[in-house]
Structure 1
């Protein structure tokens, strides 16, 4: 039994296959054949994009699919060559290879292996949370930029000329000069492929349009003799099992691949997780991000061992799998076997595939990555996300894929740090029903004279502690009637112990005491008391008072220092005031029966519609929900 659990932890896909249901077989086989039909032309096209032979694209499908079927946790995800992944590899390897095709191929394999290594390291360190590192706006800008880069790069294949410029902007500026170099026969093959694909998508959307377009173009070119038309084709393919090749390039080149491989691991993992999570949610199950990182690592290592290139989650092939009713990882196994049969025994017809048709396939695949409408729509929902997405998009176009990815990662990090270092904050008030709300959003919520309730919407750390102190003193100074009590919502900001934060709290307490303001902490009573005492800060009547929740702190503080017009605070019975003072001076939960009864009576007077138990339950929910700000990094862990 222990061995089975250990196996399940390492190979969740194998556990699913061991518990396979017979009813899944027919849908899985049908989905596997459909996925293979879509993956074959795309793999060959992406091999051309990467700068290696067409058969390498097929190698990059077989073993990686089998590896993911064993180690992956998603039952629908299909992995394989990806546009963004191949664009990154080509951008890194092409200048390092210096025109040597053998070195180019070896560098591609080495970078793929390093990508797999980084994925395994990340899985070991439980860094699956990196799936949320690139926010949706950043990823949108990145994918749109990569798509435009691929489309412009493939125009040379579609029109039959070769770019002499390497940069995207330079190619666009020089485009008018290439009009006279358009090859008519090549353009005709491109248009034929495009028309067939569009007609297939219009009238037979369930058919693999890419495969159909390549089949028609290849058949026509084979009948007309490609050498006579001077149309470039893939050429002869050496099928069979690939031979293991050891790298034969200067070891110093490996240093040039370390950071790009790390970037590639990051981008491919984030892209894969977006696809995997969306289809897992659709089919009603969860996936494990850390195990997915490990599965991606093993799949990339398997691709490198079979002389392939780096892979990622393929959204289009995953959609084909889901549309055909795929139920388990057996779909990947069936698709891998079909591709293996073609690779080892049916490579002869593939040599007549025109590169112009492959360029059309790549352009159509890249168009599916673009979403300029979504980018533009961000201006209404989130201005900062709008500018972040467009800056990322422009950086990929003007700086290149790798610098653009690096900048995107840094922008995401800086955005998070800005939100943590300079978060929003609120002053709180109370409505007629005794419910605490933010001031300024509702006219029914009134400030409590003599009491200032403050909420800081970020965990307090050493780099925002000084800002917290400045904000508190600034808000206190802006009050027309200086309050006598400051209540700080400790749940939202005191999430961990930090010596710099405790030192700031001590300084703030001394300053408030000098101004005649009592400092009260609401929430996390046990932790806060322990942390304050460890820092040498007095707790209790002569120091900082700590209460279990915001409502109890507010109730007792009102008795001591609040006086609202019309609330009858000045006219209360002296005995009731004495009871309130006695409750404030006695630790919570240890009041005498008379004083506790008085407090409960006052609380009921303040918040009549709710019982004390309901208040505590609601406060616990509030405490949990505001413990950390919700960002792209932790949105999936936010309790709804």
Structure 2
């Protein structure tokens, strides 16, 4: 429990800041939790349940002092996309599937933590996440049109909804639109004149008061409805286990997206406040928070960037902010749920639309085109995939695209031919012409680890380049960037390359990682004795030994220096 240390070493002067931050977090978390419950397709009180235990658990197991966990737009959109078709309109089954998927997400996170997979925080690259969040935000905004304008979508997918929009326009409900406009006006007014106030909470309070005071329910304006007060009673999900199998892979995708999103938030605020984050422990904390949410009948949670920002802006120092906020939300769930039933769905739709707008950054996505065209392609493809084929398939495709892009870089990396500059420093030969080739020597650098799937490409590229050169007597391979681990396919390729070069009268020298290379060559039965592959400690020694060999050859002493001694310095001294 990394958070326990901070709680035990608490300083009294922090308490005032933590209380102020906790109140601000609750003011933001309350409307968002209710709105995201609606987005997930469950009762509004479930949004409160999804805050209480997860916040308490993360306060003990998390390594971030500022991070606030809770419902998140992306995770709720993913859950809704998966569970809605499986539930087939049954609200109880829908809720139980949501809890089951949340528990599975937590288990995936715990497994990832157990196997030290915190490095997956870097797996979903920033371009993929950028495209994903833009796509999810657009999907949420279009999905909230039905609540804002007072009609019901008949199609589950975005493209069909947009295509059928002209018909939906005829179903607009004017009183609902009026409530939506009032909610939007209140939000913008508060943001303009009182930006420090919780605008979303004010929108909910004012719109709920208007529905209650003017009895707007008679105009068929949909509201949250009756909410049962009290804490949740544990229930075991009851449905066909075959349906649960449909949740396994989506839960894995959800765990990945939730973790990456949370780590981006946690790392940014940790860097701002001068401490480090343990990715593996964060994976465990996220898993336990999701299991706690499922146990308390809630839905999946992640790191909430907006609430974390509010916490930090109000001077929150420790995890006590999460504990105090959780206790306040518990009091609301126990005693203050009655007023929540008057909150109009249209107001929640406005809150969700505005929250989703903050996720959209098409300008930054377009700027990727100028900085990194491959990153732009990846982000834009992810965006289109989420919009056209859905959130979960879009995430899966994005992960596969990122993997393929990585494999392409590894399989077809950059390569360099090296030479000497006027100071005798080895450097790459390029258009700047600061280095020149060494007569009779070809120095090659392959900027990727050699493995079975790029070994043949390495050999083809090397032989092609040598064929284009004239008078090559010695080939020196820089082993440092490419010979990073033992791969028998690579060693077999090296032996084959040596045979080909030997027929061409070219000596093969591998420079760098001498001890490892000698050991690997021995294990793979690659000869390093007379007439075998020559292993040198580094590029400079390889050049020096080649120079000595040429001198010895001229003096008729070549056999002396062609052997592979244990200590090359002894050979140099003996020759000199």
Give the superposition deviation at 1:329: 1.0
Give the superposition deviation at 1:588: 7.0
Q: CA 1:155/1:577 → structure 2, altered by over 3 Å: closer, same or farther?
A: farther
Give the superposition deviation at 1:164: 1.3
CA offset digits 1:276-323 (Å, max 9, x no partner): 111111111111111111101100010001100001111111111111
CA offset digits 1:369-416 (Å, max 9, x no partner): 111111101111111111111111101101011111111111111111
Equivalent residue number for residue 257 of structure 1: 247
Q: Distance in 2 between matches of 1:74 and 1:133?
A: 21
SS for the counterpart of 1:327 is coil
Q: Distance in 2 between matches of 1:287 and 1:581?
A: 58
The farther-off stretch of 439-448 and 111-120 is 439-448
Residues 408-427 of structure 1 aligned to structure 2 (within 5 Å): 408-427=398-417
Match 2:87 to one of 97, 106, 112? 97
Residues 345-494 of structure 1 aligned to structure 2 (within 5 Å): 345-479=335-469, 481-494=470-483
SS for the counterpart of 2:476 is strand
Q: Distance in 1 between matches of 2:276 and 2:575?
A: 49
Give the superposition deviation at 1:204: 2.2
SS for the counterpart of 2:246 is helix
Q: Which consecutive unaligned segments of at least 5 residues does structure 2 have? A: none
Q: Distance in 1 between matches of 2:53 and 2:454?
A: 49
Q: Distance in 1 between matches of 2:173 and 2:76?
A: 27
Q: CA 1:591/1:111 → structure 2, altered by over 3 Å: closer, same or farther?
A: closer
Match 2:37 to one of 44, 47, 55? 47
Equivalent residue number for residue 242 of structure 1: 232
Give the superposition deviation at 1:535: 1.4
Match 1:532 to one of 488, 497, 521? 521
Q: Distance in 2 between matches of 1:50 and 1:103?
A: 13
Match 2:569 to one of 578, 591, 603? 591
Match 1:545 to one of 531, 534, 553? 534
Match 2:120 to one of 120, 125, 130? 130
Q: CA 1:423/1:228 → structure 2, altered by over 3 Å: closer, same or farther?
A: same
Give the superposition deviation at 1:584: 7.0
Match 1:499 to one of 473, 476, 488? 488
The farther-off stretch of 55-64 and 586-595 is 586-595
CA offset digits 1:482-519 (Å, max 9, x no partner): 31111111010111111111111110111111111111
Q: Distance in 2 between matches of 1:366 and 1:230?
A: 27
Aligned residues: 576
Match 1:268 to one of 258, 267, 283? 258
SS for the counterpart of 1:423 is coil
Give the superposition deviation at 1:44: 0.1
SS for the counterpart of 2:427 is strand
Are the equivalent residues in 1 in contact too, given 2:211–2:217 (CA < 8 A)? no
Residues 251-330 of structure 1 aligned to structure 2 (within 5 Å): 251-330=241-320
Equivalent residue number for residue 187 of structure 1: 177
Q: Distance in 2 between matches of 1:87 and 1:472?
A: 50
Question: Over the residues paired in the alignment, what is the CA RMSD in angstroms?
Answer: 2.0
Are the equivalent residues in 2 in contact too, given 1:197–1:213 (CA < 8 A)? yes
SS for the counterpart of 1:426 is strand
Q: CA 1:292/1:429 → structure 2, altered by over 3 Å: closer, same or farther?
A: same
Q: CA 1:167/1:341 → structure 2, altered by over 3 Å: closer, same or farther?
A: same
Equivalent residue number for residue 333 of structure 1: 323
Give the superposition deviation at 1:559: 4.4
Equivalent residue number for residue 566 of structure 1: none
Give the superposition deviation at 1:578: 9.3
Equivalent residue number for residue 206 of structure 2: 216
SS for the counterpart of 1:591 is helix
Q: Distance in 1 between matches of 2:290 and 2:484?
A: 38
Taking structure 2 as the reference length, the TM-score comes to 0.96
